[in-house]
Structure 1
Amino acid sequence: MLRFAARRLLYAVVVLWLVSTLVFAFLHLSPVPVERVLGGPRATADTLAQIRGNLGLDRPVLVQYWWFCGRLLRGDLGDSYVNGTSVTALIAARLPTTAWLIAGGAVLWLAAGVALGALSAARARGPCDRAATVFVLAGLSTPPFVLALGLLYLFASGPGGGGGHLFEAGPPLQEHFLRRMTLPWIALAFLMAAAYTRLTRGALLDVLGEDYMRTARAKGLPEHRVLVRHGLRAALTPVVTQFGVDLGALAGSTIVTEKVFGLQGVGQLVQQSIAAGDTPVIIGVTLLVTLLVIVANLAVDVGYAVLDPRVRLLPP
């Protein structure tokens, strides 16, 4: 296990380096210079040159990249081009909002998706299966922003859902916090729950036809125990795989939900940074999302052995 963890850690470092290099290259090869974005369309040549000098953009690209790698090794993501604030501080201030949004939505979509998928597979071609199919089609066909706006229109008490910062009204788990986060959680989880319902149903139907499932029934085990302990446990392997990928990737893809409900999270930070051409913040968020995806996939690999004893973490 230690060798496996060390090998995956080495892979993670290589992936982070590759991603950071690609993002650095793409953003510095942008057709719109950063100094033009910050200086505005009416900035003079002297002003643009001064901006480039202040940001260190007048240095050779290799020198900029060397400085960039050196800061990353020290854990320094640099400072924002717009306000000079540390990128780490900006992300740290927005991350709790996005973390609560993703955590609550993940609990909803995983619980609803697995429960509906298992019920649909256990009652295949029955009324429950047909109802689950309708739910899946509705969930996959509804754009997230349409659902978010619809929920806001039907249930919000005021325009914009009472925007502002998530923690203005008090700490998490208080009544106002839960009331404020319910609609964003539902909007984020609806599409994902539909996808997980379909994934769980397909995986469980495949498992129910295995020989060991018939053996368990032949031994006289109750059907619910056969379904949950033997069938669902093996069927959750692809679900866990997808869950790990989605959980990490959602850190940078909650822009629509945060925008509609006025949540100042990482998604909003990405949108504002792209509009302002704030390269260090974009790179910082990209590296954060990459790290979360790597950690999630490592947790998925370890979870395989827990869910399915046939899986062994052997070296390649």
Structure 2
Amino acid sequence: MIRFIASRLGFALLVLFSLSVFVFVLFYVAPGDPARLIAGDKAPESMLVQIRSNLGLDLPIHQQYLTFLGQALQGDLGFSYRNQQPVAPLIVNRIPATLSLVVGGVVVWLAIGIPIGIASAKRPGGLRDRIGQGFTLIGLSFPTFVLGMVLLYTLYFLPKQAGFTLLPAGGYVDLWPNPLNWAWHMLLPWFTLALVTAAVYARLTRGQMLEVMGEDYIRTARAKGLTEFRVVYKHGMRSTLTPLVTQLGADIAFLMGGAIVIEQVFGLQGVGALAVQSVASQDRPIIIGVVLLGGLFIVVANIVVDVLYVVLDPRVRVR
């Protein structure tokens, strides 16, 4: 197992290194002058030369990259052009909002999607299956921002007009010292994220369960007189978990890079909102930092998924 994890870590480091080279070169050749962005349009050329020298922008690209890589390995991602602040703290300060959104959303969509998928698969073509299929169809058809606006209108604006507050419109508050206030502010973002994603997990669970429930070992378990609960949840769900874990790892990694739409709709100052602001202002150091953070989450999620494969499925051999 140690050798297996070490090989995955080595590959992950190679991926991150390749990503850093690609992103750095991409922004190096992109149009625009960071010195002009910092100093303004009316700055004299002498000031621009001084700024480029201070930032190391007058050096060859390979020297710039080696300097950037050495600093990044120490946790220094440079300075924001707009804010004139270190990039790493700016990103780190945004992670709690994104992490709160993703963790809560994952819990809600798993609690909704997997039971619906199981109920649909237990009696295909029945009433529960039709209801589950309807939920899946509606969830997959609804754009996230539309669902967010609908929830805002029905659960915030209408009660507000009636003279009371059912749920806040959004905005992130810290978990401590009041976890209940934190959860209250996150309910609308959680359900906006979860209702769309739960449809994907309901469909995936149903498809996998239908395939598994036709296997010989399931018929053998029923022939032995095991209860339907044990057949479904002990034997059927174990084989269904592998594709679910794969999908979950990819979804969490993607969302941790910034759930851009939901953060914008509900005013959550997370990583996604920071990325949007940085793209609009052409703040390249922050964009590079956000891309590398997203890549880090993806490779870590893939390592965790690979390890879980070995734990969940004895047929997987560790090499």
CA contact (8 A) 1:161 1:262 kept: no
Measure the CA separation in 2 of the matches of 1:84 and 1:37.
Answer: 12
Q: Distance in 2 between matches of 1:163 and 1:181?
A: 7
Report what 1:152 is aligned to: 152
- The residue aligned with 1:115 is 115
CA deviations on 1:5-28 (whole Å, 9 max, x unpaired) are: 111111111011001111111111
Q: Secondary structure at the match of 1:91?
A: helix
Match of 1:85 in 2: 85
Match of 1:128 in 2: 128
- Conserved in 1, the CA contact under 8 Å of 2:172 and 2:185? no
- Find the counterpart in structure 2 of residue 195 from structure 1: 200
Kindly indicate whether the alpha-carbon contact (under 8 Å) linking 2:171 and 2:266 is maintained by their aligned counterparts in 1.
Answer: no
Question: Normalization by structure 1: what TM-score?
Answer: 0.92
Count of aligned pairs between the two proteins? 312
Residue matched to 1:215: 220
Q: Paired residue for 2:260?
A: 255
- SS of structure 2 residue aligned to 1:11: helix
- Which range moved further: 25-34 or 229-238? 25-34
* Match 1:293 to one of 280, 293, 298: 298
1:19 aligns with 2:19: yes
1:166 pairs, out of 173, 188, 195, with: 173
Quick one: which amino acid aligns to residue 156 of structure 1?
Y
Amino acid in the other structure paired with 2:295: T
- Listed as ranges, the gaps of 5+ residues in structure 1 are none
2-structure distance, mates of 1:199, 1:46? 61
Q: Which residue of 2 aligns with 1:98?
A: 98
Given that 1:161 and 1:261 are in contact with CA atoms closer than 8 Å, whether structure 2 keeps it comes out as: no
Shift of 1:35: 3.2
Change (3 A) 1:10 1:225: same
Q: Deviations over 1:104-124 (max 9, x none)?
A: 001111221111111111121
Q: Is the Cα–Cα contact under 8 Å of residues 172 and 186 in structure 2 kept in the other structure?
A: no
Output the CA distance in 2 between the equivalents of 1:259 and 1:241: 28
Q: What per-residue deviation string (whole Å, max 9, x for no partner) do you get for residues 81-133 of structure 1?
A: 22221211111111111101100001111221111111111121111111111
- CA–CA distance in 1 between the matches of 2:135 and 2:177? 31
- Pair 53,165 (structure 1): closer, same or farther in 2 beyond 3 Å: farther
Greater Cα shift, 219-228 or 27-36: 27-36
Q: Could you report, residue by residue, the CA deviation over 1:172-223 in whole angstroms, capped at 9, with x for unpaired residues?
A: 6632221110000001112111111111111111111111111111111111
Q: Which amino acid aligns with 2:184?
A: R
Counterpart contact for 1:87–1:284, Cα < 8 Å: yes
2:3 matched residue in structure 1? 3
Following TM superposition, by how much is the alpha carbon of 1:143 offset from its aligned partner in structure 2, in angstroms? 0.7
Superimposed CA distance per residue, residues 264-316 of structure 1 (whole angstroms, 9 cap, x where no aligned partner) = 11111111111111111111111111111111111111112332222232x2x
Structure 1 segments, 4+ long, off by >3 Å, are 35-51, 157-165
**2: CA distance, partners of 1:156 / 1:197:** 28
Cα separation, 2, equivalents of 1:117 and 1:19: 37
**2:193–2:262 CA contact under 8 A, matched in 1:** yes
Instruction: Tell me the SS of whatever aligns to 1:78.
Output: coil
Identical counterparts, % of pairs = 50
C-alpha change, 1:172 and 1:231, in structure 2 (3 Å) is farther
Which residue of 222, 230, 249 maps to 1:225?
Answer: 230
Q: Which runs of 5+ in 2 are unaligned?
A: 162-166
* 1:108 alignment partner AA: V
31-40 or 172-181, which moves further after superposition? 31-40
CA deviations over 1:229-283 (Å, ceiling 9, x no partner) = 0011101110100100110111123111111111111111111111111111111
Q: Is the contact between residue 258 and residue 270 of structure 2 (CA under 8 Å) also seen in structure 1?
A: no
SS of 1:156's partner is: helix
TM-score by length of 2: 0.92
Aligned to 1:49: 49
C-alpha spacing 1:230/1:267, structure 2 compared with 1 (3 Å): same
* Corresponding residue number in structure 2 for 1:276: 281
- The alpha carbon displacement at 1:165 in A equals 4.3
State the Cα RMSD in Å. Answer: 2.0
Q: Deviations over 1:125-177 (max 9, x none)?
A: 1111111111111111111111111111111266995555422xx62663222
Matched residues in 2 for 1:171 and 1:186: separation?
22
**For the residues of structure 2 that align with 1:225 and 1:155, how far apart are their CA atoms?**
39
Cα pair 2:120 2:129 within 8 Å, conserved: yes
